[in-house]
Amino acid sequence: MLVRDAMSTVVLTIGPAHTLRQAARLMSARRIGAAVVHDPDTCGLGIITERDILVAVGSGQDPDIETAGAHTTTDVVFASPVWTLDEAAGAMTHGGFRHLIVLDDDGPVGIVSVRDIIRCWTPARQRPAELV
């Protein structure tokens, strides 16, 4: 199975000036755990995750003042839609992260998470016999 078969195509893109609270609200509303951060001044793409926000707030930083740009991971490993799930899982394991931005020639087309990969690798649950 390939990354394109598992990835979420719901890609939230925010700017580095968004506050952590704004990022959290947008991520929560879409029920996603990561957002792409696009900085037009650097033409760079980064990622901010729910864990990044949790760490910042947990350390006492103000989510209404702190910006996404200050908590963005910019040293990003990108996945290709044609990577296998094994390749994506290997990159995540090697890098110690749980989300990969999926890029094609036109830019971000999805995000694949550990949860997406597990969902594909885990067989559908069987209904208990008494419910059939």
The predicted structure's pLDDT at residue 106: 85
What is the per-residue DSSP string for the chain? -BHHHH-B----EE-TTSBHHHHHHHHHHHT-SEEEEEETTTTEEEEEEHHHHHHHHHTT--TTTSBGGGG-B-SPPEEPTTSBHHHHHHHHHHHT-SEEEEEETTEEEEEEEHHHHHHHHSPPPPPPGGG-
The predicted structure's pLDDT at residue 48: 97
The predicted structure's pLDDT at residue 132: 46
Residue range 32-47, pLDDT digits in tens: 999 999 988 886 899 9
* Main-chain phi, psi angles of 29, to 5 degrees: -60, -30
Give the whole-angstrom CA distance, residue 63 versus residue 12.
19
Give the whole-angstrom CA distance, residue 103 versus residue 72.
18
Residue found by looking up tokens 């719901």 in the block: 10
- Tell me: pLDDT of 9 over 80: yes
The predicted structure's pLDDT at residue 70: 95
The predicted structure's pLDDT at residue 99: 96
**Span 123-132, average pLDDT:** 54
Distances (CA, A) of 73 to 45, 58, 126, 130: 9, 18, 39, 48
